[in-house]
A and B are shown apart, each in its own frame.
Chain A
């Protein structure tokens, strides 16, 4: 699980172009949106694509994303439970 979390942090930093943010600066339970990392609606869509592309998970309803992408913890738990690759 901690490996998956590290992998997610690296991917988020790279794919969402978070300049000057390092893996150590993202705590597992930090909120990703709003206050925390300050991600926005396009980032949320990008994370939906990432779930599909890298973990074979298709969200039936994009609104589900809000809960799944709360933090690295919630993302990792969801991926671990649903991944197909």
Chain B
């Protein structure tokens, strides 16, 4: 089967408007989380990482928009514009577009939104992006809870294998909104402090905001230095509960095993795990069980939620892009917020950013609906 690669990429985040800005802050163990006091979202202040609207508007105006766009659309368009431009790829009928989001323009349901409620339909969001750049193919919107961002890469690969497309641009994003914050709050899942994945003192999630995009391609002639090949991926459901993580880590364990089988590697070939690590009690415990069952308890692992918070439908793609830079720079990034192991099984949490020769990493994610995804990436330039 032909190889499929991840190449040109962009991250719009609290750190800045390209991947390099995010990567350099992470390297220095600087969190993007800060205390946000916005009673329109939640009555009490909460920790989050937000994209500054001023810089976003400025970057967006440079794209010469001809009509009004929502905040999320602006984020996605600014990110994707950069990735498309850098790739130099002409948007022919062989080029696909995948939009990964859980809630899209959900803020237009608010009473004071200037946008029509139609805009809340995710296919309308897809159409806005598709038309802005003039994609020849209709946008494929993937909305699969918190695995969407990494599952979108598997979806892109599968469409390329089926010869539907030669290249696929994947763009991902979700907003920090009252809709999301009040919901997670009703789940008693929000942390009042910056989150601490896998730590004994962890007390829940922070929700954050990014937009990110990547080129997924079968063409290896114009790859970037940090490019990786997708060597295995799989998604398995827990078949257990729609919100509570499985107590046996069933779906995640099965996803990892299936992805390793496809990649034809054993656990010891994996140099690094970019895990989900939301910092809720049940999620992190579930992951520890699954990683132990997969014999990955000694593999260096981090969660990047301490930098960005949980960025929902973007998180899987965001964390994969960071993983690409991690491999490329042979650097393991610290799992920010972690102090002392607070799960029942051993894990090798990366405490300090350290140099390590690496060529293969595993990305995992889990979400509501019992979904789990594992994807394995191998460095192209070693």
Contact = CB atoms under 8 A, between A and B. Distances in A.
A62 interface: yes
B188 A41 contact: no
Contact of B243 (A41, A48, A49): A41
A14 interface: no
Interface residues of A, number: 7
A48 B241 contact: no
Q: Give the dominant DSSP class at A's interface.
A: helix
Interface residues of B, number: 7
B64 interface: no
B186 A49 contact: yes
B241 A45 contact: no
Contact of A62 (B188, B241, B243, B244): B188
B243 A42 contact: yes
Contacts of B188: 45, 48, 62
Contacts, number: 13
Contacts of B241: 40-41
Contacts of A40: 241, 244
A49 B241 CA distance: 20
Nearest to A44: B188
A11 to B, nearest CB: 17
A40 B242 CA distance: 11
A74 B232 CA distance: 51
A45 B241 CA distance: 15
B186 A41 contact: no
A49 B185 CA distance: 11
Interface string B303-337: 00000000000000000000000000000000000
Contacts of B187: 45
Interface string B238-282: 000111100000000000000000000000000000000000000
A49 B183 CA distance: 12
A45 B186 contact: yes
Interface in A29-78: 40-42, 45, 48-49, 62
B202 to A, nearest CB: 14
A66 to B, nearest CB: 13
A42 B241 CA distance: 10
A49 B182 CA distance: 12
Contact of B244 (A41, A48, A49): A41
A41 B187 CA distance: 10
A40 B240 CA distance: 12
A48 B189 CA distance: 13
13 contacts: A40-B241, A40-B244, A41-B241, A41-B243, A41-B244, A42-B242, A42-B243, A45-B186, A45-B187, A45-B188, A48-B188, A49-B186, A62-B188
Given A40-B244, A45-B187, A45-B188, 5 more contacts: A40-B241, A41-B243, A42-B243, A45-B186, A48-B188
